[in-house]
């Protein structure tokens, strides 16, 4: 059984009349990569800031590494590395100078760790100033800074946002390597949902400040299985056909009234005949498989409805 390193219970965070997070509860276990999925304004950065101690909840509790008292949390947060919003690099310094600056600022005595970290993130021989870095190089240096002090939990806010395909692959492989080789638990937010699908082991869907779903990669793959996509001019009548004649409720209705039927995938003719026998004519009838984006939309849309 994996060790629980973060437990958030009924967290609410309000800014005057605006509630950024509402009654959020979740658990992070050791050695996993958690993908935090949500639109702009969903509350992803707010949640990360609360975990890092940059902000405090209006109500609810945060437990880190088994500790819950505020004085204890201050100490336990030394076991967390993070990049939130931007890496905080000094433009006129080189990579090694930036790392040295942050090492001294945080009182870390190990002078040899900076070269090791540059090697880890793939920047061992970089001499130029960070203002001349590519975005991918800046992100990797930011991760190196976050790794100072050998954290057990790494929190990364949109680390692949704006990167080219090569940069995305480099950051993805670095994150997976850190989890596997250093046994670091990682919480990563991103708008690049297919990329999260190739990176994360678990997923947290956050929408309008609320956790809509928490699921493993295996559960997500099951949710994204093949289905029949059907749309007609009378969705309610179509649902009655599925429920009463085909005896299934294994479907979901999308916001655009398209129906995704997960039964009868290999019996398309039977479904089509039932529809035609009831004087219905499909506007769309196709075999498809969900992408991560489509599944996310279905979760958010279903909850909004």
Rounded to whole angstroms, the Cα distance separating 292 from 38 reads 12
Please give the structure tokens belonging to residue 121: 């993130």
Q: Is residue 1 over pLDDT 90? A: no
- From 89, 87, 114, 111, select the one nearest 99 (Cα to Cα): 114
Q: Is residue 153 over pLDDT 90? A: yes
How many distinct helices (H) and strands (E) make up the chain? 11, 13
Q: Is residue 289 over pLDDT 90? A: no
Cβ partners under 8 Å of residue 235, min gap 6: 253, 257, 259
Distances (CA, A) of 279 to 23, 136, 249: 47, 57, 21
Going by pLDDT thresholds of 50, 70 and 90, the confidence category of residue 304 is: very low
Residues in the chain: 305
pLDDT score, position 305? 38
**Could you tell me the strand order of the sheet in which 59-64 lies?**
18-29, 4-15, 59-64
The string over 67-77, giving b where at least 16 C-beta atoms fall within 10 Å of a residue's C-beta and e elsewhere, is eeeeeebeebb
Per-residue HEC secondary structure of 130-196 comes to HHHCCHHHHHHHHHHHHCCCCCCEEEEECCCCCCCHHHHHHHHHHHHHHHHHHCCEEEEECCCHHHH
Going by pLDDT thresholds of 50, 70 and 90, the confidence category of residue 303 is: very low
Looking at residue 91, what DSSP letter applies? Answer: T
By 3-state DSSP, what share of the chain in percent is helix, strand and coil, each rounded to 5?
40, 25, 35
Rounded to whole angstroms, the Cα distance separating 274 from 278 reads 7
pLDDT tens-digit map of 187-234: 999 877 777 888 999 999 999 999 999 999 988 887 788 889 999 999
Find tokens 């088994």 and name the residue.
66
Cβ partners under 8 Å of residue 15, min gap 6: none
The strand pair at 4-15 and 18-29 is best described as antiparallel
Q: Is residue 149 over pLDDT 60? A: yes
Please give the structure tokens belonging to residue 155: 């929190």
Write out the DSSP string of 245-302: IS----EEE-TTS-EEE-S-TT-HHHHHHHHHHTT---SEEEEEE--HHHHHHHHHHH
Average pLDDT of the residues of the chain: 91
């Amino acid at each position: 059984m994996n060790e629980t390193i973060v437990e958030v219970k009924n967290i609410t965070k309000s800014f005057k009349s605006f509630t950024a997070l509402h009654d959020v509860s979740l658990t992070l276990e050791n050695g996993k990569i958690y993908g935090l999925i949500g639109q702009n304004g969903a509350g992803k950065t707010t949640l990360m800031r609360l975990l890092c101690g940059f902000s405090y909840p209006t109500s609810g509790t945060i437990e880190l590494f088994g500790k819950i008292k505020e004085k204890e949390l201050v100490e336990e947060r030394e076991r967390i590395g993070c990049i939130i919003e931007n890496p905080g690099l000094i433009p006129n310094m080189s990579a090694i100078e930036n790392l040295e600056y942050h090492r001294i600022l945080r009182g870390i005595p190990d002078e040899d760790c900076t070269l090791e970290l540059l090697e880890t993130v793939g920047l061992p021989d970089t001499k130029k100033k960070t203002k001349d870095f590519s975005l991918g190089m800046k992100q990797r240096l930011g991760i190196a800074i976050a790794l100072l002090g050998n954290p057990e939990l790494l929190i990364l806010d949109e680390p692949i946002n704006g990167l080219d395909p090569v940069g995305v692959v480099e950051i993805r492989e670095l994150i997976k390597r850190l989890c596997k080789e250093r046994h670091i638990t990682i919480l990563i937010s991103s708008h690049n949902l297919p990329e999260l699908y190739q990176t994360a082991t678990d997923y947290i869907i956050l929408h309008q400040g609320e956790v809509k779903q928490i699921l493993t990669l295996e559960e997500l793959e099951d949710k994204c299985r093949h289905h029949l996509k059907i749309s007609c001019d009378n969705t309610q009548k179509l649902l009655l056909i599925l429920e009463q004649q085909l005896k299934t409720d294994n479907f979901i209705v999308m916001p655009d009234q398209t129906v995704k039927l997960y039964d009868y995938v290999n019996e398309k003719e039977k479904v089509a005949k039932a529809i035609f026998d009831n004087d219905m004519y499909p506007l769309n009838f196709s075999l498809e498989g969900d992408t991560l984006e489509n599944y996310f939309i279905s979760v958010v849309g279903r909850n909004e409805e």
